[in-house]
Amino acid sequence: MDKACPHVEKDLKKVYRSCYIKDLIKKASTCLGIAESNVLPVKNYSHEIELNDTCDILLLSAVKQMLNFADDYIESIYENQQ
């Protein structure tokens, strides 16, 4: 998403304000058949050498969301077995 929108590339804090990123999230959710809230934008870390709080917060919030989904899934399996 950092390469998709020049405004977001300059300032990652604008990731959720970018209309272009919102459109990409909508297209991805439609293509994959999942809810838009399950599409989590993160910055490409392939060339990062130093820590950056803004980048790290996006990534950590995405990981937290994925862990919450996994936890909910495991709980639903457990409840269905009882």
The total of structural domains in the chain comes to 1
Q: What is the dihedral of CA 12, 13, 15, 19, to 10 degrees?
A: -120
Give the range among 4-13, 45-54, 56-65, 71-80 with minimum mean pLDDT.
45-54
The model's pTM: 0.69
**Taking the CB of residue 3, how many other CB atoms lie within 10 A of it?**
9
pLDDT tier, 44 (very low <50, low <70, confident <90, very high otherwise): confident
In a domain, 1, yes or no: no
Residue 30 lies in a domain: yes
Whether 53 is in a domain gets the answer yes
Per the structure, the complete domain to which residue 46 belongs is given by: 6-81
Alpha-carbon separation of residue 42 from 15, 23, 34 (angstroms): 9, 15, 17
Residue 22 domain flag: yes
What is the structure's pLDDT at 53? 85
Average pLDDT, the chain: 88
